[in-house]
Structure 1
Amino acid sequence: MKKRPYHHGDLRAALLERAELTLRERGSGALSLRELARDLGVSPGAPGRHFRTKQALLDALALSGFERLVDTLARAREGAGETFLEQLAAMAHSYVDFALADPALLDLMFSAKHSPEASQALGEAAHRWVEQGLRLVDEGQRRGEVRAGPPERIALTVFAPVHGYVGMAVSGVPLPEGADRGLDDVITSIARGCLPERNPAT
């Protein structure tokens, strides 16, 4: 059956969808604008109207990934309780779920944002992701649930362990048995480390 040619209005979205599938199944090295054009039944030059280079395509994939991650974490936090621990747990579980669902995309997101060729839009999307952690810590401090100190430093101690857990999970490191695979223990440890310092009784 002859492939239906894509109309001008939906080719960009179709290219991104197909590229993400290729990324997930075969890695970024297998991505080719010419091959994507062939898969979608368009002329070899058609993708160039939207992505002049393969790097531009990768940049767009990373941008889409960060936008979806930011939205995922925002919805997780909105649906959680009001305490720092509840919101941290919701965001951590959502982040891990996002990473495990598409580890190749997550890897691309973090490598692309450090590229000298990264677009301003990608940098801004990555910054919005960082700001989510800063807001979580800042608001926890305002409620007296998180110790005093620069939010950016405390946020690092909050999300570095979660990011490390993700790295272990996607690389196949054996994790504890149970529905949460040890993530809840990581979250509890983080929350304890964020507790305000108590003055010793005098």
Structure 2
Amino acid sequence: MPYSDVDVKVYDYDVAKARQLLDFAGWKLTAGKAIREKQGKPLSLLLSYNINNAGEKEIAELLQADFKEIGVELRILGEEKQAYLDRQKSGDFDLQYSLSWGKPYDPASYISSFRVPTHADYQAQKGLRNKPEINLIIGELLITPDETLRKKLYVNLWKTLAEQAVYIPLTYARTKAVFSNELKGVGFNQSQYEIPFERMYFSSK
């Protein structure tokens, strides 16, 4: 992916460190309770997902188990796609999946959506103190004709988001195809949304 080979801060999977940070933030695990509390309020988060996506449900359940291990309740909510999208627009979530479009649209299309209030990425970032700065960086890199400056701005953007820990990288999705062995020339373009039928043909028997 263009402009993505950047050395950013990586957060290792460290259960002990996670517990330590929660303790330091005042979220204490009292005797006899499985969920941490602060001033009598339980540490509970909501993760919503598209109920028609089996992969998202499976990942949500794995995350739920990991969060429970450190004393955090992760409530997972499967919703019909439109309800899920409406929740993205309103920002009524603590965690939600974020998917990019892939080549040839990204990273420009993906980061452009960061400035649109109806996107989950905007809602996830709007509480950041430097959100105005992030928007300015995006606006400038999308219009600058200077390749050197564009690369510099992308590095700044990725490092800023990594430092704020807005995103938890999970997985790469693969595009799959099921076809008869008589059909030849099956493959993919850069974009998963464009199927190159013009290259496919049936072999003669």
Provide TM-score, normalisation by structure 1.
0.24
Which is helix-richer, 1 or 2? 1
